[in-house]
Amino acid sequence: MKTDPTSPAPIEALTIEEAAAELERLAAEIAHHDRRYHQEDAPEISDAAYDQLRRRNDAIEARFPELVREDSPSRRVGAAPGQGFRKVRHSRPMLSLDNAFSDADVIAFFTSVRQFLRKDEPFRSQPDAPIAVVAEPKIDGLSATLRYEGGRFVLGATRGDGEVGEDVTANLRTLRDVPQQLADPAPAVLEIRGEVYMTRADFFALNQRRMAAEEPIFANPRNGAAGSLRQLDPTITAERPLRFFAYAWGETSEEIADTHSGALERMRGWGFQVNPETRRCASIEEALELHRSLAGRRADLGYDIDGVVYKVDSLAFQARLGFVTRAPRWAIAHKFPAEQAQTRLNAITIQVGRTGALTPVAELEPVTVGGVVVSRATLHNEDEIQRKDVRVGDQVVLQRAGDVIPQIVSVVLDRRPPDAEPFRFPDICPACGSHAVREPGEVVRRCTGGLICPAQAVERLRHFVSRNAFDIDGLGEKHIAAFRADGLIHGPADIFRLAEDPAPLVGREGWKETSIANLQRAVRARRQVPLDRFIYALGIRQVGEATARLLARNYETLDAFRSAMVAAADEAGEAFHDLDSISGIGASVARDIVQFFAEPHNQQVVDDLLAAGVTVTAVAAPRQVASPIAGKTVVITGELERMTRREAKARAEALGAKVAESVSKKTDLVVVGASPGSKATKARELGVRTLDEAEWLALIGDA
């Protein structure tokens, strides 16, 4: 598995297609590291590098919410629980936070909160009324949940994957900051959540002791805290200086407060440590001021913090704002700025992707940036190289921000070698020698070799067998490239043929009877594949996992999907309209799908797969929610009184409805607000049921 933190582009420059490919790669890579860390106890990368991967994943998802994968690491929140501890299902999931990296991100967060709540007082009458938030240091430890029944501590667990954690009650009992019995009267059931951490002084002392005892030392306090909490023998934990700050809660048998600040006050009363730097801020300015102040005093705090968390103070607003996938809409983590380092750019290499995109990669003299050794960085595209005038031999400034991938911020011109030449981006594909061209308006240069380009072919096959496509184990890049070079496989169907008739593998170097049998087993196990994986595996431009799932749910069978895509070649026709009106599929994506099926060789790939014995099954219907709109296709149009369209959409989806952007015969319901446009007219023309806002609220049980 590749752990080198290198990849295509800064997030703002990613195309949807690149983003989807990268999310796929990140999901596989993060799952791999989770396994290494938790199941195999043999991490390959530092915690910081791991966090970077997750942050990049989150950042891409934030920009392309439609691409969030079913198996996204962000849906798992933390790592899957390891062996050894009893597993505990959390009464309420333990969520994560979205990140902000600049004041502008924070302002955008406040704006989006206000937008969401704009039908509520005071925002209705005062669109830019201040929003009170609580700002808390973001403690760099690991989160835990503590359950109290009748005021007594009965269960403590790690976050695990956010849904299921590990029962570490005995270990948490050894922490001074975890009260066994609550001081003030408390609800019958009360779950307090917060961060287990270690102070820097305690961490250094612990490492001293470990060094003296010739035990391996911990890389940082967070590692020390995690390693100490996850001890099977609680007497070891008892010797470790762990602490706990309370900042959130899970299940409670009664409401504990009206505001977050009120809840923290009650936590203090019950005997918990609440971080003393916590402040209620009446405005954005106050919140940003606290961030600046903490950033300056960071080193003096005695424990590691990596940012400031802002939480909307009103719990009524929090309830309205709710959650997206895994993070609350009412909170955000404002991270501290990136760490930088300087190093030499040794070379610029060009990678060719599945769709022929040429991506320049900086090959660097290895250097540590914020605890991670970096030897490669993305240069994004040719414009970027030109804009920064990056030359081989230059000293460059690297930065790790919230991104996983280090970026080249600038070139140190004073240190440029006199003979350094401007970089000339190739106009020939380095893999196949075909012309590489840039379409007008595109930033990406692409190889025109198509089917003859070995790099593209290998990348396509790799994509085909990848974990979220056909998930064929044991067929790595090296094998694919070698099989292809030797003419054993040309297209995806050949993988199935080769498994049925492995004669060409017999006697090949590295292929023994068992490895052939393993490959056969792996391939046979994937003969049957759900439609969404099948669509995703085809590698259609811009069709990531999320889009493939949308398509599969809408068309249900491969036959229906294929014939609809062929029919959709006519952009004025109904088939194209149906495709285009699936919420989450825009015109540009729709065109790429249609174009794919318009190519005879692509149709041939599908036919070949079916001929090779692949069967495609209908996808399981989405989790059924018992609601009057579950499974219905809903369109929302016009201005609503009580909620914004965005909130209405979120509510409809939470109740199991599909929300579409335009009205067709397949629409079940159109919710019509004030001053509706053509969608309402269209609904009446087609005889689709329309609801006014009051009827809508009554239907979803919110009247």
Minimal distance in Å, beta carbon 177 to ligand IVH?
Answer: 14
Comparison of 278 and 456: residue with beta carbon closer to ligand IVH: 278
Q: How far apart are alpha carbons 288 and 362 in whole angstroms?
A: 35
Helix (H, G, I), strand (E, B) or coil at 130: coil
How many Cβ atoms from other residues are within 10 Å of residue 91's Cβ?
14
Minimal distance in Å, beta carbon 144 to ligand IVH?
Answer: 9
Active site residues: 138
- Binding residues among 472-511 for ligand IVH as defined by CB under 6 A: none
Please report whether residue 218 would count as binding ligand IVH according to CB under 6 A. Answer: no
Comparison of 336 and 511: residue with beta carbon closer to ligand IVH: 336
Q: How far apart are alpha carbons 409 and 389 in whole angstroms?
A: 11
Comparison of 222 and 649: residue with beta carbon closer to ligand IVH: 222
- Site mask, ligand IVH, residues 253-292, x = CB under 6 A? ----------------------------------------
Minimal distance in Å, beta carbon 145 to ligand IVH?
Answer: 10
User: Residue 5 — φ and ψ, nearest 5°?
Assistant: -75, 60
- Binding residues among 391-420 for ligand IVH as defined by CB under 6 A: none
Please report whether residue 97 would count as binding ligand IVH according to CB under 6 A. Answer: yes
Minimal distance in Å, beta carbon 650 to ligand IVH?
Answer: 17
* Contact between residue 457 and residue 429 where contact means Cβ atoms under 8 Å apart: no
**Which segment (89-97, 437-445, 471-479, 613-621) binds ligand IVH by CB under 6 A?**
89-97
Comparison of 192 and 499: residue with beta carbon closer to ligand IVH: 192
When binding is defined by CB under 6 A, the residue of 37, 116, 247, 270 that contacts ligand IVH is 247
Comparison of 165 and 406: residue with beta carbon closer to ligand IVH: 165
Minimal distance in Å, beta carbon 159 to ligand IVH?
Answer: 6
Comparison of 73 and 353: residue with beta carbon closer to ligand IVH: 73
Comparison of 248 and 404: residue with beta carbon closer to ligand IVH: 248
When binding is defined by CB under 6 A, the residue of 21, 67, 113, 139 that contacts ligand IVH is 139
Please report whether residue 195 would count as binding ligand IVH according to CB under 6 A. Answer: yes
- Site mask, ligand IVH, residues 291-310, x = CB under 6 A? ------------------x-
Q: Which two tokens stand for residue 245?
A: 């700050």
Q: How far apart are alpha carbons 394 and 397 in whole angstroms?
A: 10
Minimal distance in Å, beta carbon 271 to ligand IVH?
Answer: 18
Minimal distance in Å, beta carbon 445 to ligand IVH?
Answer: 37
Burial readout 579-593 (b: 16 or more C-beta within 10 A, e: otherwise): bbbbbbbeeebbbbb
**Which segment (21-29, 95-103, 173-181, 292-300) binds ligand IVH by CB under 6 A?**
95-103
* Contact between residue 670 and residue 637 where contact means Cβ atoms under 8 Å apart: yes
When binding is defined by CB under 6 A, the residue of 60, 95, 411, 455 that contacts ligand IVH is 95
- Please name the residues in contact with 562: beta carbons below 8 A apart, sequence gap of 6 or more: 597, 603, 606
User: Residue 160 — φ and ψ, nearest 5°?
Assistant: 60, -130
**Which segment (6-14, 136-144, 286-294, 581-589) binds ligand IVH by CB under 6 A?**
136-144
- Binding residues among 310-349 for ligand IVH as defined by CB under 6 A: 328, 331, 333
Segment (H or E) for 104 = helix 103-116
Residue 599, Cβ density class (10 Å: 0-12 exposed, 13-18 middle, ≥19 buried): exposed
Minimal distance in Å, beta carbon 134 to ligand IVH?
Answer: 9
Q: How far apart are alpha carbons 237 and 666 in whole angstroms?
A: 59
Comparison of 196 and 697: residue with beta carbon closer to ligand IVH: 196
Please report whether residue 223 would count as binding ligand IVH according to CB under 6 A. Answer: no
When binding is defined by CB under 6 A, the residue of 20, 100, 157, 248 that contacts ligand IVH is 248
When binding is defined by CB under 6 A, the residue of 15, 57, 143, 554 that contacts ligand IVH is 143
Q: How far apart are alpha carbons 466 and 24 in whole angstroms?
A: 9
Residues in binding contact with ligand IVH, number by CB under 6 A: 14
Comparison of 246 and 655: residue with beta carbon closer to ligand IVH: 246
Minimal distance in Å, beta carbon 143 to ligand IVH?
Answer: 3
Provide the angle, in degrees to the nearest 10, between the axes of the packed helices 645-654 and 103-116.
Answer: 80
Q: Which two tokens stand for residue 681?
A: 């007219």
Please report whether residue 138 would count as binding ligand IVH according to CB under 6 A. Answer: yes
Minimal distance in Å, beta carbon 32 to ligand IVH?
Answer: 21
Q: What Å distances lie between residue 500 and 263, 481, 497, 581, CA to CA? A: 63, 20, 5, 42
Q: How far apart are alpha carbons 420 and 400 in whole angstroms?
A: 26
Helix (H, G, I), strand (E, B) or coil at 647: helix
**Which residue's entry shows tokens 């590691």?**
304
Q: How far apart are alpha carbons 418 and 234 in whole angstroms?
A: 62
Q: How far apart are alpha carbons 1 and 33 in whole angstroms?
A: 9
Provide the terminal-to-terminal Cα distance of the chain, rounded to the nearest Å.
Answer: 53
Q: What Å distances lie between residue 148 and 152, 159, 179, 416, 659, CA to CA? A: 5, 17, 10, 63, 41
Beta strands in 551-626 (DSSP E): 615-617
Please report whether residue 59 would count as binding ligand IVH according to CB under 6 A. Answer: no
Comparison of 136 and 545: residue with beta carbon closer to ligand IVH: 136
- Please name the residues in contact with 273: beta carbons below 8 A apart, sequence gap of 6 or more: 177, 243, 244, 245, 246
Minimal distance in Å, beta carbon 246 to ligand IVH?
Answer: 9
Q: Which residue is nearest to ligand IVH (CB)?
A: 143
Please report whether residue 583 would count as binding ligand IVH according to CB under 6 A. Answer: no
When binding is defined by CB under 6 A, the residue of 6, 74, 96, 314 that contacts ligand IVH is 96
Segment (H or E) for 115 = helix 103-116
Q: Residues interacting with ligand IVH, by CB under 6 A?
A: 95-97, 136, 138-139, 143, 195, 247-248, 309, 328, 331, 333
